[in-house]
Amino acid sequence: MAVLTFSSFLKVITKFAKKKQMTFLVKGLLEDPIKKADIRDRSHKQYRLTPKMCGSLYKGNEDVYPLLRAGMTRYFNGHDKDGSISMLLLNRIVTNSLQNRYIFKELNELVQSDEEIDIAKRRYVNGLYNANKGNEDKLFFREVFMLAIVADNKTNPVAKKANRSLGDNNLTTNDIIDILNSREHPVAIVTPDDIKDEELNYVKELLKVYSEAAHVIFVKKSDLVSDTACLDDFNKQRGYYYAAESIRVGLRDTETYGYHFFDELKSEIFTGLEDTCNKSYASGKEKMNAIMERVTFIPLNSVLMHLPGWIKTQERKGITHMLVNDEKIKWVEEKLDE
């Protein structure tokens, strides 16, 4: 049965490439995004595609490395929504862009015959292919490229060892998900009565929202006693924060061998919220409500999203408060003196 992998994806393109060398093809598709997105490996160094690495990826002897996969996914989701960048990469590699339809035909056949790909996704890709128009062609290639990046590329794997750990080399994303799934769900942290020092930034922002809405200055939590609705909402928002904090601490206190699952999820959420954050709002409360609504619907690719019960609506909202804590989001903009 035909399967779409990064290796089979590359082998289709090879037939029409200017050069048939494995290093040329892998670098042609990955090197520019790696540099522009500054995608780094587990040693925090920017990925350098060696000939050996390119050969292993091309032959299907190794999976696309988890951090490289995550970085490529973030880059294309954030910067290539219309497929222009991925199409540009393809046209640098092929002999003549007129040959793209032949490439697309074979790639579509791979997608349609791969039963591991969700049927709705296969239908969507097939619709883009059959449209045979400029914009749809770009989106088609982008979709297939991304499916190939996230697929299990190890077409010639050795038997997988039992009880693997995150410290093992050459783990696939599915391996990582299986390892994390075998662990206990992080213990829920009970929201403390006292405000901790590490909460101060997002707490101050919440108090600004309530002050603006109630036309009363709230400086500390105890000030909210006079406004039951604000106090109830404040306690609810802190509950969201500690739901996310439970996951962060749970991951921090286990051996992750240089993986930064939670930080990557936080970064992905911020990217998904940027457009909503940058809109104009009549008040801080309106802005907070819009962003809290948006965060519940952002499509996320983090491995943590594949762990049942780990990242729910409250964790998503809690991570938003963490972004406020990091001063990446502000609910109430400071007004200049007139």
User: Could you state, in order of their start, the residue ranges of all structural domains in the chain?
Assistant: 6-150, 180-325
User: Would you state the pLDDT for residue 149?
Assistant: 92
Output DSSP code: residue 279.
S
Q: How far apart are the first and last CA of the chain?
A: 70
Which H or E element spans position 261?
helix 261-277
193-202 own/partner pairs: CB under 8 Å, 24+ apart: 195/220, 195/221, 198/325, 199/238, 199/241, 199/325, 201/324, 201/325, 201/326, 201/327, 202/241, 202/321, 202/322, 202/324, 202/325
Q: Which of 8, 10, 44 is nearest to 28 (CA)?
A: 10
- Residue 214: per-residue pLDDT: 93
DSSP assignment of 53-116: HHHHHHHTSSPPPHHHHHHHHHHHHHH-TTSHHHHHHHHHHBS-GGGHHHHHHHHHHHHHH-TT
d(CA 213, CA 322): 22
pLDDT in tens, the chain (338 residues): 568 999 999 999 998 898 889 999 999 999 999 999 999 887 888 989 999 899 989 988 888 888 899 999 999 999 998 999 999 999 999 888 777 888 999 999 999 988 888 899 999 999 999 988 778 899 999 999 999 999 888 764 433 444 578 888 778 888 888 888 878 888 899 999 999 999 999 999 999 999 999 999 999 999 999 999 999 999 999 999 999 999 999 998 887 888 999 999 999 999 999 999 999 999 999 999 999 999 999 999 899 998 888 999 999 999 999 999 999 999 998 764 43
CA dist list (Å): 44 to 48, 160, 251, 258, 259: 12, 27, 19, 9, 10
Q: Specify the pLDDT at position 219.
A: 94
Residues 6+ apart with CB under 8 A from 202: 241, 321, 322, 324, 325
From start to end of 188-254, where are the E strands?
none
Burial (Cβ within 10 Å: 0-12, 13-18, ≥19) of residue 69: buried
- Structure confidence at residue 241 (pLDDT): 98
3-class SS of residue 51: helix
| Nearest alpha carbon to residue 73 among 181, 185, 148, 135 | 148
Backbone angles phi, psi at 143, to 5 degrees: -60, -45
pLDDT at 185: 85
Count helices and strands (H / E) in the chain. 14, 0
Q: What pTM did the predictor assign?
A: 0.54
The whole-number pLDDT of residue 157 equals: 42
